[in-house]
Structure 1
């Protein structure tokens, strides 16, 4: 099953993509409600909707397939870390701590973009994309999403979508020297889409070790930049979900990005390997197309950069411990 959100004229639609048409959920349900009910309930809804005529897919504008409850983004591909570290540190290096657990950060769920949307980046000389596959979490009866093991976490994987983690690498590099972040180097835009493909649709691609062996490609202005198998990640997806839930909780509508695939899944990796900004950073007007086997294509465009007033520098303050007398 494919699940999407769309605009048809002035009307918002949420439902299934069936062949070449979109069909609203029965009873006016929303994607958030269907995710909360879980995958078995979604199959029952599909049986009720499958015979509806719907609306031609080509006549609607697709939106992000969900409004995420949160977005975690992992860094799970060793090859990506090798390449990016070469650009940042001057040599390829994967920290021993990387191998210990699938590390992630939280990004902004309020700047999510959909298929065909344009990203409005900050002023940056190193605008980049990141090709990722993302898990969409669904509800499971009797589970609150806390402290899951890998088997229980697998049941919480409702489906998958493509994720483009737009990145301003120069801003990101400055922020991370403070040993916190990334923040403004990332939070201006994350593209998701074109729809959610339910986990059962991709089960045939799961290999003997539990990894999802599907091909991911990224193009800039129709030139192939990178391609990889998602199964080259350091951990299978249920272990991402399980780790995110440790001493915490995952809930329906959470999005967990795989992190950037290797072999050119982002420009930053290639800059590190090439020792120069080749291929060049993204520019206004560039079109980025991501294609993942079994999912589809996610296209995004780059708008002119948004120039804002400069940020004031930190004030050097006297370190009084007692409020000075007037």
Structure 2
């Protein structure tokens, strides 16, 4: 099943993509509600509307396929870490701590973009994309899940573009906290959620999702990889996220950027120069993931923000 949100002349619709049409969920359900009910309930809803006429897919504009409860973004590809660390931090290395657990950060669920949406970035000299696959949590959610149990909480998958301002990110990371403003201005999700059962055919013997992922800028192939090159399968990412915490329906867990050119930052680190060049206004970034579909985003003009002063020298007095 493919689950989507869209907008047309009648307003926002939420439901299934069936062949070349979109069909609303029964009983005016929303994607948020369907995720909370779980995959079995989604199959029941699909059976009720699968023969409905619906609306031509070509006649609607797809939105981000969900309103995320939260977005965690992992860094699960060793090859990506090797390359991008040189471009962002000045030296190429994979810290020993990377191998110990699947690290992630939280990003902004309030700046999510949908298929075809234009990104209006901050002022940056090093605008970048990041090609990822994201797991979407459904059902009851849970805490301290085992990897096996966590896999059962994955409702489906979508494509994720974690837009990045590498110069801002590089400054922030030197403070040993972040990334923050280098990341939180935009994340594109879509074109829809493909349910986990649809992708079982691509799961290899070790439990990794072996789908091919590609990214093109203005039609030129920049990066390509198998998602199964992750250091951990998705179930283990979900399990780690739930450790002494909680995952809930609508949580988005990005894989992190694929290797072999899944972002420009990796290539800058490997090449020792800004080659290929940073993204510019008017550029089109097209991501394709086997079994899921295609996600396109375009770059708009940078949006200057009001200036803030640097930190002021203080006396460190302990009493007024």
* Range into which the TM-score falls when normalised by the shorter chain: over 0.9
Deviation at 1:92, TM superposition (A): 2.2
Segments of 5+ residues of structure 2 without an aligned counterpart are none
**2:254 equivalent to 1:257:** yes
Deviation at 1:11, TM superposition (A): 1.0
Q: Which moved more, 1:244-253 or 1:306-315?
A: 306-315
From 161, 177, 182, the counterpart of 1:180: 177
**2:193 equivalent to 1:225:** no
From 141, 150, 174, the counterpart of 1:153: 150
Which residue is 1:121 aligned to?
121
Which residue is 1:283 aligned to?
280
Q: Deviations over 1:175-205 (max 9, x none)?
A: 1111100000000000000000000000000
**Partner-residue secondary structure (3-state), 1:84:** helix
Which residue is 2:299 aligned to?
302
- Structure-2 separation of matches of 1:87 and 1:217: 21
**Partner-residue secondary structure (3-state), 1:110:** helix
- Structure-1 separation of matches of 2:25 and 2:88: 47
**2:316 equivalent to 1:319:** yes
Deviation at 1:146, TM superposition (A): 0.6
- Structure-1 separation of matches of 2:27 and 2:166: 45
Q: Deviations over 1:202-234 (max 9, x none)?
A: 000000000000000000000000000000000
Deviation at 1:86, TM superposition (A): 2.2
Deviation at 1:174, TM superposition (A): 0.4
- Structure-2 separation of matches of 1:177 and 1:9: 48
Q: Which moved more, 1:163-172 or 1:89-98?
A: 89-98
- The 8 Å contact of residues 89 and 170 in structure 2, kept in 1 or not, is answered as no
**Partner-residue secondary structure (3-state), 1:172:** helix
* TM-score, structure 1 as length reference: 0.97
| Number of equivalent positions | 320
**2:236 equivalent to 1:212:** no
Deviation at 1:317, TM superposition (A): 1.2
* TM-score, structure 2 as length reference: 0.99
Deviation at 1:89, TM superposition (A): 4.3
- Structure-1 separation of matches of 2:19 and 2:93: 46
Deviation at 1:109, TM superposition (A): 0.1
- Structure-2 separation of matches of 1:89 and 1:102: 20
**Partner-residue secondary structure (3-state), 2:160:** strand
Which residue is 2:45 aligned to?
45
- Structure-2 separation of matches of 1:250 and 1:88: 30
Which residue is 2:68 aligned to?
68
Q: Deviations over 1:119-176 (max 9, x none)?
A: 1100000000000000000014xxx511100111011000000000000000000011
**2:82 equivalent to 1:82:** yes
Hey, which bits of structure 1, 4+ residues long, moved more than 6 A? none
Q: Which moved more, 1:274-283 or 1:8-17?
A: 8-17
- Structure-2 separation of matches of 1:49 and 1:23: 7
